[in-house]
Structure 1
Amino acid sequence: MNTKHVFRTSIFMLTFFILSFVSCSDGNSIEEEEQAEDITELMRASEIDVVGEIVSDIIIDSYEIQENDELNRMVSSSSFLPSCVVVTIVAEQGFREVTLDFGTEGCIVNEHLLRGQIVFSYTRNTEVQEILISYSLIDFYFDTNNIIGSKTILRQLSNGNGNPQFTHNLDLTIVWPNGLQANREGVKVREWVEGFGSGIFSDNVFEITGNWTTTFVNGNQHTYEVLSPLRRQVICNYFLSGTVDVQRTNFGGTFDYGSGVCDNQATFTFNNGYQIDIILN
C-alpha cells in the first residue's frame, strides 16, 4: 500500500470541504484559526500513518528473511531493504538481535530518507506458535522528522483463520523540525491472507484491522477504528476495500475504499451524512 498517496489526497479533499465552511463565517477569526489548526493536524497525522506502516514493513520483512535464510544473508536476499542498510545479527542459543543501520547520511526506502537504527530482538523457537518481537528506534529520522519508539510486534504462526498474523502494539512519537510533536498509540493487526510461503513477493495480500489514537501536545486527539478489514495487495498502490471510522477534533466520518477493485476511487462520508468522492493519486 502506498499510504503516502492515499492519505495526502484524502486530506486535500477534506481540507477543501472544511474551508468551504470557513468561508461562510465572515469575521470569525477564532473559528478560522481553529479550522486551520485542524487542517494542520490532519496533515501531521497522515505523516504518522506513513511512518508507522514503513517501520512495521521493515521489521516484519527483516524478521521473515532472518528466519528463512539459513545463511543469514539478509540484505542480499531481501527485495525490500536497499543495499546501503548495514545489517548486524547477534545470534546466540535461541536468541536473535538484529540491527538495521541506515547510517548518518541515510538510505532511501519507499521514497523516504531513513537515518539511524532499528533494533529488534526475539527468542527463537521454531516449535512455538507465537514469537514476540521487541524493537527500538535509535536516533531514528524519517525524512527530517525524529521518530521515537520502543514497542512490540507479536507474530502468530496461525490465527483462528489458519493464517499468519502480526499484532503491532503502536507507541510512536514524532517530532517535527519546528518543534511540534505528537504521539500515536494503539493496535494494528495484519493478517497474511494470501501468498504466505510461496516465495513470491508480488502475490502477498494482507487484511488490516485495529484502532489507534494520535495525541498532539495541545491535547487534541484523533481516533481511528477499522470497521471492515483494509485489504492490501502489495502490487496495488491502494487499499482494495475496507472502511475506517475517523473522529477528529471538530468533525469525523468514514472512509470507504471500495469493493475489491484496484483503483483510485474512494469515498468519505461525514457524520452528518454528507458524502464526497475521493480520487487517490
Structure 2
Amino acid sequence: MKKPQFKQFAIAALLMGGLLTSCEKNQDELPEPDAQDSFEVVALQQADESEWVSEEVINVAEEVYAAEELAASGKGTAKSGFIPECVTITTVQTDTSVEKTIDFGEGCETPNGNFISGAVILSYSKDMEQATKTLSLSLSEFTFNGIAVEGGAQILRMRSNTNGNPQSDISSAFNGTWPDGETASWEGNRTREWIEGYGSGFWGDNVFLITGSQTFISRAGNTYNRTVLEALRRELSCRFIVSGVLQINRNDLSASLDFGDGNCDAFGELTYPDGTTKTVPLRRFRP
C-alpha cells in the first residue's frame, strides 16, 4: 500500500467532490465525478489510509499480546523490539482478566516509521493456556500519523490454525478525522494469519496474510465495499502492502487494485470499471 503527501490527499478528496472547478460554486451545482475519478480517489483513500490505520492498530495489539503469549509458553522470544521504548505499558490483573494500556503518550515513532500518540487498551482473559481467546480493543485519544481515530475491535485470537500459524479474526469499526478536517468511517471483518516471524525476537521478519471485507463511508456519505480477492501480504519491514488484490464496489460499479508482485514500493495497478488500467501512487507519507 502506498502514500502521497497530505496536500496530495487533500486534492484527491477535492476531486472526489468535484470542487476543483470553482471555489465560488455551491457544491450542489457541481457534476458527479465520472467512474474513473471516483474509483481512483477511493483507491487512495479507502484501500490505503483506512487500511493502514486498521493494520497498525491491530499490529500494536498483537505485538503486545504475542509477547505475553510467548512468555507464557516459552516457545519463542517474547519481545520483538517493535514497541518503542517511549511507550508505557500498564497492566491491571484480576483473578480472571488482564487489561493492558499501551500508552504512546504525546507521540512515539514505531520502528517502521509511523508516529502514534494516545493509547490502545487491550483486555482479555488471564488464562494463557487457552487455544482460542477473545481480545477486546479500544482507543483513547489516539492519533496515527496525524489522523485522530476512534473506535475499537474484537479479536478472536487462535494460537495455531490449520497451517500451524497464529491467526486473528477481527471485527472492527473505526472513525477517522484527518488533519485537514476530512472525516470517514470504516468497519469490517478480517482474518490476519501470522505466517512468518512469530517468536523470532525481531519485528522486521514478521509477515501476515490478510483476507476479508470492509465497508468505507466517506465524508460525503458515499459507501464503498471492499473485498480481498487475493490475500494481501503485509511484511512489517515495509510500509506498504506488497502483493494481493482488492476489489472495490460502489453501487453497480466495480474496480480492482493490485498491490504488486511482492516488491516494497508505493504504487499499485488500478483497473477501472471499463477495464482500463492505471498505475497509481498510494498513501500519503507522514510529514
Superposition deviation, residue 199 in structure 1? 3.2
Structure 2: which 5+ runs fail to align? 21-28, 73-77
Partner of 2:272: 270
Rounded to whole Å, the distance in 2 between the matches of 1:263 and 1:216 is 26
Label 1:174 to 1:234 Cα distance change in 2 as closer, same or farther (>3 A).
Answer: closer
Label 1:121 to 1:215 Cα distance change in 2 as closer, same or farther (>3 A).
Answer: same
Partner of 1:233: 235
2:98 pairs with 1:106:
no
Rounded to whole Å, the distance in 2 between the matches of 1:222 and 1:132 is 28
Superposition deviation, residue 79 in structure 1? 1.2
2:31 pairs with 1:31:
yes
> What is the correspondence of 1:125-204 to structure 2 with a 5 Å cutoff?
125-176=127-178, 179-204=181-206
Label 1:239 to 1:50 Cα distance change in 2 as closer, same or farther (>3 A).
Answer: closer
Superposition deviation, residue 82 in structure 1? 1.6
Label 1:173 to 1:264 Cα distance change in 2 as closer, same or farther (>3 A).
Answer: closer
Contact 2:79 2:201 in 1 (8 A): no
Partner of 2:25: none
Rounded to whole Å, the distance in 2 between the matches of 1:222 and 1:39 is 12
Superposition deviation, residue 244 in structure 1? 0.6
Contact 2:40 2:270 in 1 (8 A): no
Aligned letter for 1:134?
S
Rounded to whole Å, the distance in 1 between the matches of 2:118 and 2:236 is 26
Label 1:116 to 1:194 Cα distance change in 2 as closer, same or farther (>3 A).
Answer: closer
Label 1:220 to 1:65 Cα distance change in 2 as closer, same or farther (>3 A).
Answer: same
Contact 2:81 2:201 in 1 (8 A): no
> What is the correspondence of 1:187-266 to structure 2 with a 5 Å cutoff?
187-248=189-250, 252-261=254-263, 266=268
Let me know the Cα RMSD of the aligned residues: 3.8
> What is the correspondence of 1:112-131 to structure 2 with a 5 Å cutoff?
112-131=114-133
Contact 1:38 1:249 in 2 (8 A): no
SS in 1 for 2:31: helix
Rounded to whole Å, the distance in 1 between the matches of 2:53 and 2:227 is 18
Superposition deviation, residue 171 in structure 1? 0.5
Quick check: 241-250 or 219-228, which moved more?
A: 241-250
Structure 1: which 5+ runs fail to align? 24-28, 71-75
Rounded to whole Å, the distance in 2 between the matches of 1:160 and 1:243 is 23
Label 1:186 to 1:276 Cα distance change in 2 as closer, same or farther (>3 A).
Answer: same
Aligned letter for 1:107?
C
Superposition deviation, residue 237 in structure 1? 4.3
Label 1:181 to 1:48 Cα distance change in 2 as closer, same or farther (>3 A).
Answer: same
Query: Per-residue displacement from partner, 1:67-100 (whole Å, max 9, x unpaired)?
Result: 3346xxxxx9451122221110113334211001
Query: Per-residue displacement from partner, 1:124-145 (whole Å, max 9, x unpaired)?
Result: 3233221111011112223443
Label 1:197 to 1:225 Cα distance change in 2 as closer, same or farther (>3 A).
Answer: same
SS in 2 for 1:120: strand
Paired positions, count: 264
SS in 1 for 2:163: coil
TM-score calculated relative to the size of structure 1 = 0.77
Aligned letter for 1:163?
N
Aligned letter for 1:186?
G
Aligned letter for 2:108?
C
Partner of 2:51: 49
SS in 2 for 1:31: coil
Contact 1:154 1:166 in 2 (8 A): yes
Label 1:154 to 1:42 Cα distance change in 2 as closer, same or farther (>3 A).
Answer: same
Aligned letter for 2:101?
T
SS in 1 for 2:241: coil
